[in-house]
Amino acid sequence: MSDEYRELAEILPDDFSNPADSIEEVRAKFDLVHGEDPGPGVLVEPQADGVWVRADPAPAGSRPTVFFVHGGGFVTSPADSYAFYGAKVVRSCAVDVFVAEYRLAPETRFPGQIDDLLAAYRKLIAGRDPAQVVFMGDSCGGGMALSTLLAARDRGLALPAAFVGLCGWFDMEARGESAVSPVGRDPFLNPEWLRLRARDYVGPAGDVRDPAVSPLHAELSGLPPVLLHAGEMDRCRSDSERLADRIASVGGNVTLEVVAGMPHGFHGLSGIVPEADAAFAEVGAFISRYT
């Protein structure tokens, strides 16, 4: 664990994901940490179905496109508030980023979100070579990105070149070892909070074990190369570990990286802690390898 993260962790509270919070309180907390200025050197272009984030001025030649599905526990953080995160990916990975919009829960329940994302992907590849597109998502966005990829596969759509999950949440029951027997402190996630947000997503009668909801339970053959990142302290770490095992068991190309000492969502700390910067450098190299 770096000195930079150790110093930051000392001032981070433990109640960010408080199960007692109302939806309004959850959204207010996320508003405080999302929506920051993307900073110089990027161009942000809102669209009806998402937000483009590109280097400005544009480099010579085309760049791969990241189809990015944002996190936020299904209930927060519309695409425009994730432009700052898209800017981190643009700078670190030499790509263009499309942060896809989806309707938030609980006002919209599953499968509305996957319908939105699949429609956005169809539109994206109507004008781009899928071999130059990479799916990426953080937290619940990682799970929804994988669900969208599986839906595209099952509908016979052309698949992207690769998939990247950043601290992905792939099991809506949040019953993995890292959730029930954590090895250390994760200031950003509480397992009971995860289960409440999953219920917001599927509704009172929804099935959190539905493979389209929890892609950990899906049939996982035929995927493009997959990179999964998780933090050692991440309450969702086991989701990535179990998913990697399942993809490997069907002969898939999967790489898992568990970063020592890191909590859930640590990639969002790039520019602050060296572990996040190193992780994004690995993501960039992975994208370059397959596009």
Q: How confident is the model at residue 61 (pLDDT cuts 50, 70, 90)?
A: confident
Least confident of 18-22, 153-157, 176-180, 237-241: 176-180
List Cα–Cα distances, 280 to 82, 94, 118, 179, 266, in angstroms: 16, 11, 26, 25, 10
Report percent pLDDT > 90 for the chain.
94
Least confident of 57-66, 166-175, 266-275: 57-66
Report the pLDDT value the prediction gives residue 106, as an integer from 0 to 100: 98
CA distance 59 to 270: 22
Mean of pLDDT over the chain: 96
Give me the residue spans of the domains in the chain.
3-290
CATH number (3.20.20.70, 3.40.50.720, 3.40.630.20, 3.40.50.1820) of 3-290 reads 3.40.50.1820
Per residue in 207-261, pLDDT (tens digit) is: 999 999 999 999 999 999 999 999 999 999 999 999 999 999 999 999 999 999 9
- Token pair of 63, please? 């760049």
Label the pairing between strands 96-100 and 50-55: antiparallel
Per residue in 190-208, pLDDT (tens digit) is: 999 999 999 999 999 999 9
Q: How confident is the model at residue 35 (pLDDT cuts 50, 70, 90)?
A: confident
Q: How confident is the model at residue 62 (pLDDT cuts 50, 70, 90)?
A: confident
Per residue in 101-127, pLDDT (tens digit) is: 999 999 999 999 999 999 999 999 998
Question: 257 in helix, strand or coil?
Answer: strand
Q: Is the pLDDT of residue 60 over 80?
A: no
